[in-house]
Structure 1
Amino acid sequence: MAGNYKMMAKTLFGFEPLLAKELRDLGAGHVQEGVRNVTFEGDLGFMYKANLCLRTALKVLKPIKTFKVANEKDLYRNVYELDWPEIFDQDKTFAIDTTMSSDVFSNSMFVSLKAKDAIVDKFRAVVRQRPDVRTQDPDVRINIHIFKNTCTVSLDSSGSSLHQRGYRILTNIAPINEVLAAGLLLHSGWDGNTDFLDPMCGSGTFLVEAAMIACNIPPNINRESYAFMHWKDYDAELHKKIVDASLKKTREFHHKIIGYDKAPSAVRKSQENVENANLSAYISIERKDFFYTEKPVDGKLFMMFNPPYGERLPIEVDEFYAKIGDTLKQAYPGTNAWMITSNLEALKHVGLRPSKKIKAFNGKLEARLVEYEMYEGSKKQKHQS
């Protein structure tokens, strides 16, 4: 694995440009956007750095073989030909994830089983022992992707999805994915140069991700394990150097990050998650109902929140979204307010014209990230100044 090689980082739909920029900023070569993925080149150390530092990546894959496949014999033979005992030891557990869009095979489970047979048979032939398959939390993950008649076998260097940062132990009914939260913040242009408020903070994900962006803290610094740690070529010393070098690039943050929630249970959960992320020095959380608050700071305020959609949390949608607009108008001058919602009808009841609308997905729900610019005084005065 010496030298540079091609890798692929998977992401959420619409986050490809954000991920490509992150990769270029980290120093990746030959960065190319795909659909829900970005390919790039780097060495072993860069693979460690990508897993540690990418905010909008879900997985980092390392392709190890691409071949044409016409039937199950082609699949078995090509997978068997790989030197699996040189990649991981027989005492490690493994699992295979298959995605495909192909006329050759109709069942991804069948492909995974055939590939599993080839890997197990190779181990038996070479070392006389076989590794065990474990679908839940395996040591080694192998990714098979078949498009038409082309099959790519990759090693999944991440293991569990990179949205599992390691700080969020407690969640509420409708938590926002950490990668989604980070991507929405990057889409909005959040850079840590103002005070920040999430007025409906839930389990605190926006607060933590905003603080990590503001302080340039690697998003996965609290994560304890990656699948690459179980590969034979894992270099623990190099990995430690990458972590130490990344931590040296953190910066101080001189503003406030504030969270409100009206539910005592949400306040407790978000406080614990913030503590787990070691960010209590930057983030304060209070039990407050947004509709009875006023702007808590002087000067510019940046707001980002994820209000209930009426999907999993029952609310009177029309009335609730009208109150959001009223509260922003009456109590939050000088605020850039961003929110994400999948209830596109509800946006009509806010009563404000968004200055920006960005399409996004929250899980399988199509959503909009919208910005409302609340000026000090009237908008007319703002343009005249």
Structure 2
Amino acid sequence: MSNNFKMVAKTMFGFEEILEKELLKLGAINIEKGVRNVSFEGDKGFMYKANLCLRTAIKILKPIHSFKVRDEQDLYDKIYKMDWTAYMSHSSTFAIDATVNSEKFNHSLFIALKTKDAIADKFRNTEGKRPDVDLKYPDLRINIHIQKDFCNVSLDSSGQSLHQRGYKTATNIAPINEVLAAGMLLLSGWDGQSDFLDPMCGSGTIPVEAAMIACNIPANINRREFSFEKWRDYDEDLFEKIVESSLKKTREFHHKIYGFDKAPSAVMKAKDNVKNANLSEYISIEQQDFFASEKNVEGKLHMVFNPPYGERLQIDMEAFYAEIGDTLKQSYPNTDAWFITSNMEAIKNVGLRPSRRIRLFNGKLESKLLKYEIYQGSKKAKFNPS
């Protein structure tokens, strides 16, 4: 008999396909792509593995019940009817996350409140005591998703969003989310087969995620905890086995990863984060102004970066993007350069034609991930003795 059950991995817009590929590679079955999510099947050990290893997932949910819902009272009644003792006791703490996409229900906080009341009332009426809510570190995190008139109740096996990898103690003013960084790297085709540069590395997120991909290190190996560790059916031995076997799959990386930033404070933070991730042997962080730099590696260079948007940093965006283009053209031959931006006007100043444009979101900002291929340049011109 199979112990497989359905799960849903939530992700960011634009990453559904790479998350699907990640799941396939990990060994999931019955994978189905949605919008900002991918559903799949696996057993308990696979749920642990998905949380530990997936780079582009934000949460792994385990659906436990679904039903049609007419109004708030109907929701309360149906949640109340469920057997919550299978998952928690009156001494457990719990928290509810609700997302609502419906004409009937338009307030997710109210839906969360109704669900909380139903569960607490059930325990009070059957056991004489009600469980407490703990929004930060609950024993059980419950996810309610209402789409039109259909309600899905799931257990959140991850807890805090999986972008919180655990290696970052210091961030800069506009840090990039780790899942966004990993997704951009995977979309760019980064596979650890060349040297790598993030020329505006801030607190070092992109270089760290690039090294973890290159060495096949599980994305969340540095994380302190997952929600499933507090579940009633948690199997510690099984989880340790999953961690051990995932670490056996790491590989050597024979190139170098560089991060530049011109701000000394960013360089210090990036170095700290690289050290926390135990990746100092692979990543070198340097205080360097990209616009005054040139390519110093042989062969192909893979570049991925997140330039300032001008949303939080005051700079002349047109001149700034023109300088990105000039630096790439003049100083970085034989380079594939990818960067993300939400400033659609400013990219016209790069002066190069992108060979790819992928629509993504950075937080709420609609953005494009752009690829610029910088060729080796014409050899003839250099030797023409005119």
Partner of 2:133, secondary structure, is coil
Matched, 1:171 2:168: no
Task: Give the number of aligned pairs.
Answer: 381
Q: How does 1:37-116 map to 2 (within 5 A)?
A: 37-116=37-116
Letter in 2 for 1:264: P
Equivalent residue number for residue 31 of structure 1: 31
Aligned-pair CA distance for 1:79: 1.2
Q: Distance in 1 between matches of 2:331 and 2:101?
A: 52
2:100 maps to 1:136: no
* Per-residue CA distance 1:213-256 (angstroms, 9 max, x = gap): 00000000000111111110111111111111100000000000
Percent of paired sites with the same residue: 67
Per the TM alignment, residue 126 of structure 1 is displaced from its structure 2 partner at its CA by: 4.1
Aligned to 1:211, what secondary structure does the other structure show?
helix
- Structure 1's 375 and 105: CA in aligned 2 closer, same or farther, altered over 3 A? closer
Aligned to 1:147: 147
User: Would the aligned equivalents of 1:197 and 1:303 in 2 still touch at CA under 8 Å?
Assistant: yes
Listed one character per residue, the Cα deviations across residues 8-30 of structure 1 (whole Å, up to 9, x for unaligned) are: 01000111111111111111111
Cα RMSD, aligned residues only: 1.7
The match for 2:267 is: 267
**Deviation of residue 106 (structure 1)?**
3.3
Residue 375 of structure 1: CA displacement? 1.2
Q: Secondary structure at the residue paired with 1:333?
A: coil
2:384 is aligned to none
Distance in 2, matches of 1:129 and 1:238, equals 33
- Residues 360 and 378 (structure 1 numbering): CA distance in 2 closer, same or farther, change over 3 Å? farther
Alignment-derived partner of residue 190 in structure 1 = 190
Q: 1:149 to 1:264 in 2, by over 3 A?
A: same
In structure 2, the partner of 1:301 is: 301
| TM-score scaled by length of structure 1 | 0.96
State the match for 1:156 in structure 2. 156
Paired residue type of 1:144: I
Alignment partner, residue 233 of structure 1:
233
Moved more, 90-99 or 103-112: 103-112
Identify the range of structure 1 (136-145 vs 177-186) with the bigger mean alpha-carbon deviation: 136-145
Residues of 1 paired with 2:301 and 2:276: CA distance?
26
* Aligned mates of 1:73, 1:146 — CA distance in 2: 14
Q: Which runs of 5+ in 2 are unaligned?
A: 382-386
- Per the alignment, residue 341 of structure 1 pairs with 341
3-state secondary structure, aligned to 1:234: coil
| 1:94-153 C-alpha deviation (Å, 9 max, x unpaired) | 111111122333322222122111211222344433221122333321111111211111
Shift of 1:314: 1.0
Q: TM-score, normalised by structure 2?
A: 0.95
Q: Which runs of 5+ in 1 are unaligned?
A: none
Please give the alpha-carbon distance, in whole angstroms, between the structure 2 residues aligned to 1:356 and 1:247.
34
Q: Deviations over 1:140-198 (max 9, x none)?
A: 21111111211111001111000000011111111111000000000000000000001
Deviation at 1:293, TM superposition (A): 0.8
> C-alpha separation between the residues in 2 aligned to 1:353 and 1:73?
56
Q: Distance in 2 between matches of 1:299 and 1:76?
A: 63
